[in-house]
Amino acid sequence: MKKMVSLLISLCLCLSLALPALGEGENPLDEGIRASFKRMKTSGGMVVAAKDGEIVYSYCYGFSDKFSKDMVTPDTYFRIASVSKLVSAVTIMRMVDAGLLDLDENLGTYLGDPAYVAANPYFPKIPLTTRHLMTHTSSLSSKGGFTKHRALSLMLDVSNKRKSDFHNEEPGSVYRYSNYGAGILGCLMEAIVGKRINEVAKEMTFDPLGIDAAYHPTLVQHPEKIATTYETDGSIAITRSLRLKEEYPEKIDVDHDYNETYGSVWMKGEDLCRIGIMLCEGGKLDGQQFLKPETVAEMIASQQGRGYVTVDSPYGLNVERVSNLVQGRMFYGHQGLSEAILCNLYFDPESHFVFALVTNGCKSTKNDRIGVLTRSLFEQLWAAYGQ
């Protein structure tokens, strides 16, 4: 009997030595979360989860800047790449709620001075609309990159009859993901409000939500805390110091300001999660109704049969409908991939679960269109908080 007890004590001791002890204040999830970041060679990142309108978990990993040895903290700002499209959509929908913008009005009505008819010259009788831009069904072509030498009004005005800027596809009938189309939303913001993109978003979205974010790294409250971005192998992509030398043009140029709203937002991880909470809770955050519930419902719905959209795009209004995260359940949000940056925001109004991920560089490979790191972190947090 004594031998048996001694054997059991030895076995328990071996097991306790084999398992790393949790640090003070650590969540039992932290070890697995940390291992996922490390396995995908993440330079730095933060993952946040919310349930029932409250943040329930957050974890910071790695370096915001390796040279200065600055670690990622909740105060680190990340460029959120294409998740910027979803953030931009919030401001656009604020304009819709305020009666400043009609999703199905011709773009030339807002962008032109005087107004013009924006249309694909292959299909001149079908107006190009904001709904087309937000569903990625505008038929605009980005062949050869954005044709920056031509003013936006020249590219969209059907009277110019330049077909090389368009696909020979009826607007609304074919889904083609378009950074260019999403960028034009910034031009709309400026044309309608008469201010630069960042100022519009700050006044209509960031400040009312209590969020510290900007469309340029020098415009956040503490620019010294932006993250350096890294390549997949951990080498530097763009340093913090170089980012802060970039100047933000203060003058409105509606014809050319289409390079910001599709991928230029800088934001903290918890602030990104708060946007997800607002959308998940039907437009409400901290007890305040920010967007109308019916507006949020419109954002996440299929747009097929609405306005001039005839195809079932995977996007609602700049919000992707994602069915491959949890079997039998639809999530909504957006993924951002730029060089080695991987960012995500996903929310489920049924379970009231929100997932947000920001990184400044990792091995950003995908599994069934979702980042491998994203899927690994999501599965752990969904198992802990989503049910």
pLDDT by residue (tens digit) across 295-308?
A: 999 999 999 999 99
Mean pLDDT of 5-18: 35
Residues 126-184: pLDDT tens digits? 999 999 999 999 999 887 666 566 789 888 999 988 888 899 999 999 999 999 999 99
Mean pLDDT over each residue of the chain, to the nearest integer: 92
- Identify whether 69 is part of a domain: yes
Q: What is the DSSP string of 145-174?
A: S--TTS-HHHHHBGGG--GGGB-SS-TTSS
DSSP letter, residue 100: S
pLDDT at 16: 33
SS3 345: strand
- The percent of residues in the chain predicted with pLDDT above 90, rounded, is 86
The pLDDT score that the predictor gives to residue 249 is 93
CA distance 172 to 308: 6
Tell me, yes or no, whether 7 lies in a domain.
no
Number of domain units in the chain? 1
What CATH number should be reported for the domain holding residue 207? Answer: 3.40.710.10
Amino acid found at 179:
N
The confidence score (pLDDT) of residue 150 equals 74
- The answer to whether residue 9 is domain-embedded is no
Res. 91: pLDDT tops 80: yes
Mean pLDDT lowest among 85-99, 154-168, 275-289: 154-168
Residue 281 lies in a domain: yes
Q: Is the pLDDT of residue 269 over 60?
A: yes
Q: Are 214 and 198 in contact (CB under 8 A)?
A: yes
Rounded Cα distance, 129 and 107, in Å: 5
Q: Residue 149's pLDDT is what? A: 61
pLDDT at 228 over 90: yes
> How is 283-311 classified by DSSP, letter by letter?
TEETTEE-S-HHHHHHHHS--TTSTT--S
- Is pLDDT of 25 > 90? no
Q: Let me know if residue 6 belongs to a domain.
A: no
The contacts found for 279-283 with CB under 8 angstroms, 24 or more apart, are 279/90, 279/319, 279/332, 279/347, 280/50, 280/53, 280/347, 280/348, 280/349, 280/352, 280/353, 280/354, 281/53, 281/349, 281/352, 282/349
Provide mean pLDDT across the span 259-270. Answer: 97
Three-class SS state of 12:
helix
Residue 35 clears pLDDT 50, i.e. is over it: yes
User: pLDDT value at position 147?
Assistant: 58
- Chain centroid to CA 185: how far? 15
Look up residue 202 and give its DSSP letter.
I
Residue 258 lies inside a defined structural domain of this protein: yes
Q: Look at residue 160 in the predicted model and tell me its pLDDT.
A: 87
pLDDT higher at 282 or 339 = 282
How is residue 212 written in tokens? Answer: 């510290």
Average pLDDT over residues 31-54: 98
Q: How far is CA 116 from CA 160, 201, 299, in A?
A: 11, 26, 27
- Separation between Cα atoms, residue 183 and residue 185, nearest integer Å: 5
**Per-residue pLDDT at 325 exceeds 90:** yes
Structural domain including 378 reads 25-386
- The pLDDT assigned to 196 comes to 98
Q: How many CB atoms lie within 10 A of CB 249?
A: 11
Check residue 340 and give its pLDDT. 96
23 pLDDT tier (thresholds 50, 70, 90): low
Is there a domain that residue 11 lies in? no
pLDDT at 313: 98
Task: Choose among 209, 263, 250, 255: nearest CA to 78.
Answer: 263
Inside any domain, residue 1: no
